[in-house]
Amino acid sequence: MSYKSNKAQGLSLTFKEEFELSKLFISSYADNKININNINYDFPICIFGQKIFEISLKDLKAFTSDHIKYLNSKYFSLNSSYPELILIGIKDYNFKDILRLRDISEKNKIGLDLMKIGQASGTFNFLTLEKRDFITIFI
């Protein structure tokens, strides 16, 4: 399956891969990529359930409330449910990023967690094992 989703709000998703849930595990990471099932994925990427997408989000400053709406609707169209959380893994961030994302999160009534790449990778693995509905973005 290979398709490119419609571009909305300056954001597009390009399908890369789909895994069985039992094989969806981040085994290693670096500042600019993660490894899932012996396949490296360069950032930026977005993971919905068992599907991995390339995302056209170049940095955290570009992330907006409209992007959350778009990601929520895309997630729903693929999974028939809405995500309870958006997990963002990034190399570096600052306090202003946290405040801005908190406001976006409250406005859209969705949990939004910002973490370093290693922490986000571990959290991703844990949430996947729990079969939770969430979106992960690595920038």
Q: Are 139 and 33 in contact (CB under 8 A)?
A: no
pLDDT at 18: 94
Q: Is the pLDDT of residue 8 over 80?
A: no
Q: Is the pLDDT of residue 6 over 60?
A: no
Confidence band, pLDDT 50/70/90 cuts, at residue 120 = very high
**Burial of residue 75 (number of CB atoms within 10 Å: 0-12, 13-18, 19+):** buried
Chain mean pLDDT for the chain = 91
Range among 35-39, 45-49, 91-95, 121-125 rated most confident: 121-125
Provide the token pair at 78.
């693929």
Q: Are 104 and 112 in contact (CB under 8 A)?
A: yes
13-138: which CATH number, 3.40.30.10, 3.40.1280.10, 3.90.1300.10, 3.40.1230.10?
Answer: 3.40.1230.10
Q: Is the pLDDT of residue 2 over 50?
A: no
Provide the token pair at 123.
């959290």
Q: Per-domain residue ranges for the chain?
A: 13-138
